[in-house]
Amino acid sequence: MNRSLIVSLSPHIRSDVSVDKIMWSVVWALIPATIGAGYFFGIRAIILIILSIITALISEYICNLIFKREISIFDGSAVITGILLAFNLPPNVPFFIPIIGSFFAIVVVKQLFGGLGYNFLNPALAARAFLVASFPQIMSASYIAPYYGTISGFDAITQATPLTAIRNAKIMDTPRNLEILLDKATSWESLKNLFTGNVGGCLGETSAILLLIGAIYLLIKRYIDYRIPLSYLLTCFILSLFILPIKRFPNYHLFQILSGGLILGAFFMATDYVTSPITKKGRVIFGIGCGILTMLIRHFGGYPEGVSFSILLMNVATPLIERYTRPRVFGKK
């Protein structure tokens, strides 16, 4: 009889969902938006994304060797970081930007803290924050119009992304002009452009529909939990009802949801397993926190957009949230 039976502790069967399967599924889910980036911003966008992915993989590999860890470039996580970082860059940045950013994301944010599972900040977002702080000029002035539209999506004269246009008008324009601008921004035409992605913005954030295709796939597969995106978006939606009179600007909340990086952030970056809470209640709180911070930054902050900073801030709060949202143990009060 066979003498080489494996003796291991239970369980003897495992679910077929592995880390690699989840990570690669996220990569597939980002493909529609990647194609969209190429469609709206041209081949240059694709080159930026590829540069970012390659740098991420090389950095990951070198770190694996230096830290004597198992080679982890095939698990898909570095590819995700590469894509997401590129998605958060304006389309006209020079080629060295994704290279520096991706290197920073993988080496400093991820591998120096121990690799996948140990980083407390979302690598792509932390790297984006690093780039914004290091190259403010490049990062804020590299937006271009999509091939078939305008930068703002609602006004041919305005040379700024939708959220920036509104903020600039708030600071510099007369209330009368601001109202005209807001009317345009919340028009169906503008919303349609935001929904399809035919506006200026970071590479991968503009097209809500293409991002949602991927997100729905991940939600159906249950690779991401609906709690974070739902509470995040709902919070932004509700808060925007209070900012401007509904009767005057009935679509303002939709404008807020669809513009900037909110859809990308809510479905693909706030849901990052490693940096968001593991408890169900914690995830709801995390989403609400992201929503409040995003709306605060957008309306009162120095930056026109607040998605990445609010997610980063909530990343830091994650251990605390987890501590106070432990589920009730069966049989205990």
Partner 1 sequence: MFNFLISKQVKKFSFAGGVHPEENKHFTENSPIEKLPLPKLVYLPLLQHTGKQAKPLLNIGDKVKTGQIIGEADGKISANIHSSISGKVKDLKELPHPLIFGRVLTYVIESDGEDIWDENIKREFVKKEFDSDEIIEKVFKAGIVGLGGAAFPTAVKLSPPKEKVIDTLIINGCECEPYLTNDYRLMIEKPKEIILGALLLKKALEKNNKNIRLIFGIEDNKEKAIGIFDSYKKDYNFEVYTLKTKYPQGAEKQLIKAILKREVPSGGLPFDVGVVVQNVGTAYACYEACYFDKPLFERVITVSGNGIKEKKNLLVRIGTQIKDIVEYCGGYVGEIKKVIMGGPIMGVAIYSEDMPIVKGTTGILFFNEKEVILEKERDCIRCGRCVEVCPMGLLPTELHKFIKRREFDKARDYSLLDCIECGSCAFICPARIKLVQSFKFGKQEIIKKERK
Between 23 and 160, whose beta carbon lies closer to partner 1?
A: 23
| CA torsion angle 325 326 331 333 (round to 10) | -40
CB of 188 vs partner 1, minimal distance in Å: 39
Q: Is 260 left (phi over 0), alpha (psi -120 to 50) or beta?
A: left
**Rg of the chain over all Cα atoms, to the nearest angstrom:** 21
Query: CA–CA separation, 333 vs 3, rounded Å?
Result: 50
Residues within the interface to partner 1 (CB under 8 A): 1-2, 5-15, 17-19, 21-22, 70, 114-118, 225, 273-274, 276-280, 283, 322, 326-332
By the 8 A CB rule, do 51 and 97 touch?
no
Query: Per the structure block, which two tokens stand in for 314?
Result: 């909530």
Contact 79, 33 (CB under 8 A): no
User: Nearer to partner 1 by C-beta: 191 or 274?
Assistant: 274
Residue (18 or 177) nearer to partner 1, CB: 18
Cβ at position 283, least distance to partner 1 in Å: 8
Residue 280 CB, nearest approach to partner 1 (Å): 7
Q: Which is nearer to partner 1, 13 or 43 (CB)?
A: 13
Q: In sequence order, what are the residues at sequence separation of 6 or more whose Cβ sits closer than 8 angstroms to the Cβ of residue 109? A: 119, 121, 122, 123, 126, 127
- For the bound state, the minimum distance from the C-beta of residue 14 to partner 1, rounded and expressed in Å, comes to 6
**C-alpha–C-alpha distance, residues 152 and 165, integer Å:** 7
As measured in angstroms, the least distance from the Cβ of 129 to partner 1 is 21
Distance CA 179, CA 166 (A): 10
| Dihedral sign from CA coordinates of 293, 295, 296, 301 | positive
Q: How far is the CB of 87 from partner 1 (least distance, A)?
A: 21
Quote the CA–CA distance of 3 and 74 in Å, as a whole number: 35
User: Residue 7 or residue 171: which is nearer to partner 1 going by CB?
Assistant: 7
Closer residue to partner 1 in complex, CB, 281/299: 281
